[in-house]
Amino acid sequence: MPSQICNVNSKVTTLINQELDRQRRGIELIASENFTSQNVINAMGSCLTNKYAEGYPGKRYYGGCEVVDEIEQLAIDSLKKLFGAEYANVQPHSGAQANAAVFLACLSAGDTVLGFDLSHGGHLSHGSPVNYSGKIYNPVFYGVEEETGMIDMDKVEALANLHRPKLIICGASAYARDWDYQRFRKIADDLNALLLADIAHPAGLIATSLLNDPIPHCHIVTSTTHKTLRGPRGGIIMMGKDFPNPWGRRTRKGKEIMMSSILNSGVFPGMQGGPLEHVIAAKAVAFGEALDPSFISYGKNVIANAKAMAEAFVSKGYNIISGGTDNHLMLIDLRNKNKTGKEIEKALIEADITVNKNMVPFDDKSPFVTSGIRVGTAAITTRGFEPQDCVKVVDWIDQIVMNPEDDNMLKSLKSEVNEFMTQFPLY
């Protein structure tokens, strides 16, 4: 091998090992992260990365797709079984790509979309002005109530009636409460709007029936595969039931076009080229793991850990938005502690505790500073944490929030954290 290639390869190997060490020794509380199984990693790091397969199983634009056809079909079938869906597309490279494909398939430029405000816990791809979804389409937003930290469905309905969106989105990246999909559907039906649920965060908890199920109520459901679902990084699109497109589009031969076909075209060739078959194989492995009964215990533990953590924070005087959690995450407003998200994220890292700074509803600080942090339990539960471990973590976080500039304390806590994590082996 030429020495320059060797040199870069060995540097990358060293850096991967450094990252593995960071993951092993630290406490991972980023709500959107998790640790996949070794089987998921093996599938992703396989020869499937060499294969081009534009198209769908049985209908490709390349030869030699017999094997990847079987793999992709296995992923589709496993996903359909996991969520009880009639339709699944496993090709989106990410959750944002899945949403982009749905927008492309269902909307025209300038159409109105009603989504959850990013600064209240929504997602960039639901109409944020800095994202394509807010530049090409006309976004309007609902948020949470300042008093309760929760969504008021009467206000969602009033906003929908006022703006008459073509698409309504439910789903978030920092909302700790469950969703009333049935009520959202009623609001959408009254306006002939389509309803999209983006379940990227709670997907694993929905697959195990621990949270409300959007599949019977929402026309379309998108998700990532790497958060509570614990698969490789990627996106998916599902429908509980396929249905004829509501715009009366027909084929050249006059046949009604089903939404499944419109969504498939939205992904490819609309939004993406060749699918990542190595990632699709890893998705199939993860869906298989999520179908195992042990995944239900995992989901229950994720929620029990999050509740234990939220209670411990509240008992120490922290302001958890909405006062608690139904899922795997919580959003903590640090303003009553006179701290910013930015400084606490930085101080926690010194002790090998990883969170992300996060805007809180009605925040007076910029997204680069923020008044809050977001904390989640999907990853630590995979490591084997139980509620009493979560309470211990809250104690450590509290010590750091109280004295984020005490370098000696941070150093000593880092040793304690690293020693503690040796009980929870990773790979």
Catalytic positions:
52, 54, 198, 224, 227, 233
Considering beta carbons, is residue 135 or 250 the nearer one to ligand DSN? 135
As measured in angstroms, the least distance from the Cβ of 331 to ligand DSN is 11
Name which of 95 and 134 has its Cβ closer to ligand DSN.
95
Name the residue among 266, 375, 371 with its Cα closest to residue 328. Answer: 375
Which residue, 95 or 232, has its beta carbon nearer to ligand DSN?
95
Q: Using CA atoms of 307, 308, 310, 311 in order, give the dihedral in degrees to the nearest 10.
A: 110
- DSSP per-residue letters across 347-405: HHHHTTEE-EEE--TT-SS-TTT-SEEEEE-HHHHHHT--HHHHHHHHHHHHHHHH-TT
Closest approach of ligand DSN to the CB of residue 96, in Å: 7
How far does Cα 159 stand from its chain's mean position? 26
β pairing state of 167-170 and 112-116: parallel
Question: Is the C-alpha dihedral spanning 5, 10, 11, 13 positive or negative?
Answer: positive
Residue closer to ligand DSN (CB basis): 95 or 231: 95
**Please, what is the minimum distance in Å from the beta carbon of residue 316 to ligand DSN?**
25
Q: Which is nearer to ligand DSN, 174 or 310 (CB)?
A: 174
Q: Are 98 and 236 in contact (CB under 8 A)?
A: yes
| CA within 13 Å, CB half, 340 | 11
Closest separation in Å from C-beta 197 to ligand DSN: 15
Q: How far is the CB of 374 from ligand DSN (least distance, A)?
A: 8
Respond yes or no on whether the N-terminal peptide bond of residue 269 is cis (omega within 30° of 0).
yes
Given the rule CB under 6 A, which residues bind ligand DSN?
Answer: 32, 95, 123, 173
Residues in Cβ contact with 272 at an 8 Å cutoff, skipping those fewer than 6 apart: 91, 92, 93, 97, 101
